[in-house]
Amino acid sequence: MTLEFQEMMEDMRQKPIKTRGHGTYDPATGKFNFMPSLPGEPVQKAVRKLGESKLYETEGEKHSSIIVHLKVDRNTADPRTELFDQLEHLTRPLAAGGEEPLAPPRKCLESTDVLKIWHNRRTRKIVVQMEIATDTGRDPSDALFQLSAATNKCFAINRKSFSTGR
């Protein structure tokens, strides 16, 4: 044996080889016969990816399927909207003739216990929800002023999305 062949065999012993196939066990002889499958076409066809999310088609004997895997970070400001945005982007080629997008019309810009701000992308309107407690002994106008300042800050941060209608 050559040195190259010995090194190759040593590598093969260290790394497991993965293969698909089927095996049969003969209890009379105690032998196990394994027949590896021939490499075929990939199961996933027409794969579209966006980050870690993807959409693909599969062909079965009885029917074909479209499968979508969506993945977003749970700690984002509005994970639901991000999921819908990814779904819209991945399924855009499937839409027939410019149908209405599947994404929800509202995008959450701010979400705290006392302040929630959404931007409705279709109607291009902003919805602001403020919650002011009156049982704290403080003047409600002070809380309103603080929430208005936070709202103004949010508007300044998201100014570009308002002008383009996104």
pLDDT at 148 over 90: yes
Q: Are residues 88 and 133 in the same domain?
A: no
52: in domain: yes
Q: Are residues 94 and 51 in the same domain?
A: yes
Instruction: Report how many domains make up the chain.
Output: 2
Q: Say what the pTM is.
A: 0.40
| Domain housing 79 | 44-99
31: in domain: no
Band (pLDDT 50/70/90 cuts) for residue 147 is very high
Q: Are residues 70 and 93 in the same domain?
A: yes
pLDDT in tens, 118-145: 888 777 888 898 999 888 888 889 989 9
Identity of the residue numbered 39: P
Last residue of a domain, one of 53, 69, 99: 99
- The rounded distance, in Å, linking the Cα atoms of 103 and 73 is 18
27: in domain: no
pLDDT in tens, 18-45: 777 888 888 888 888 888 887 766 677 7
